[in-house]
Amino acid sequence: MQVVGYRPRVDEPATLLVSDGGDVRRESLEPGVELAYTLADRHCAGVLDDGRHIPCAEPTAPYCPQHTDRWPCARCQGECDLPRPSCREEHAIYLAAFGPAKFKVGVTRSWRLQTRLREQGADRGAHIRTVENGRIARQIEADIASTIGDSVRVDHKLAGIHRPVDTTAWEALLSEFEVLDRFDFDDGLELTERPVAETLLSGTVRGTKGRILVVERHGTTYGVDMRDLVGHEITQRETDRTLQASLGSFD
């Protein structure tokens, strides 16, 4: 078996995509689910084609160059000729907040705004402008990003996952823009301390936030970047690897 993808919690519960002999099944990551897998060798996760998994033995993970999906808009700053049909759709420019005080600007097609914020694991979001296409949106994003930034790393999200957004700092940022709509998201994790960063697939699921999976094992809560699971071969038994424990597990 191999982990070949994941789906963040948006309208449906989060899942891992697991390939077993080419068949792909969804491993539920709903709170309370017990996971008991050991991670083995990691290599390219291959490709999913019409519900089937086509494996790849290349050692680069999570994807080799052949199977890496290069999104042409990722670094675009509005200097393009609208090469994709989606570029011509109405776009929203938004701000996202991650506890306690990490902020970013982003753009997405207007109809995907809340979905995009949930995919990123944002605690709060604010829609600040609507424009007719992606080129204009990217130009505005690049200008705002020069002072706010347009990305927040997963390790920074994990560092503040147990803390609420600094309302004073968030409101100060929003005061500089015309806010069209606001969004608050409740992940239901109810964490009191920062999870230990780890790559594992054993324990009781506490929940997910964007691409971060939170599991509890032997009294310690772990935060797992699901992208770091993609490509791993797995066996169905609880890991026996020695893991770092939180100080709270010794109380």
pLDDT digits (tens, 9 = 90+) for 98-136: 999 999 999 999 999 999 999 999 999 999 999 999 999
Joined together, the tokens standing for residue 46 give: 């291959």
How many whole angstroms separate alpha carbon 127 and alpha carbon 141? 12
Task: Output the pLDDT for position 198.
Answer: 97
Residue type, 247: L
Q: If phi over 0 gives left and psi between -120 and 50 gives alpha, with beta otherwise, what is residue 5?
A: left
Joined together, the tokens standing for residue 80 give: 């393009």
Percent of the chain with pLDDT over 70: 91
Q: Decide if pLDDT at 249 tops 80.
A: no
Continuous H helices in the chain: 113-120, 134-148, 154-159, 167-174
Task: Output the pLDDT for position 51.
Answer: 84
Residue 108 exposure: Cα atoms within 13 Å on the Cβ side: 20
Residue type, 240: D
User: Positive or negative, the Cα torsion across 81, 87, 91, 94?
Assistant: negative
Continuous H helices in 100-220: 113-120, 134-148, 154-159, 167-174
Task: Output the pLDDT for position 37.
Answer: 96
pLDDT digits (tens, 9 = 90+) for 25-78: 999 999 999 999 999 999 999 999 988 999 999 999 999 999 987 666 666 666
pLDDT digits (tens, 9 = 90+) for 198-243: 999 999 999 999 999 999 999 999 999 999 999 999 999 877 666 7
Sheet holding 34-42, edge to edge: 47-49, 52-54, 23-28, 15-20, 2-7, 232-235, 34-42, 201-209, 212-217, 220-225, 196-197
Task: Output the pLDDT for position 238.
Answer: 74
How many whole angstroms separate alpha carbon 158 and alpha carbon 156? 5
Task: Output the pLDDT for position 147.
Answer: 96
pLDDT confidence of 250, banded at 50, 70, 90?
A: very low
> Taking Cα atoms as reference points, which of 2, 32, 27, 30 lies closest to residue 16?
27
Q: Residue 44 in contact with residue 65, Cβ under 8 Å? A: no
Residue type, 198: E
Bond before 83 cis per omega within 30 degrees: no
Average per-residue pLDDT in the chain? Answer: 92
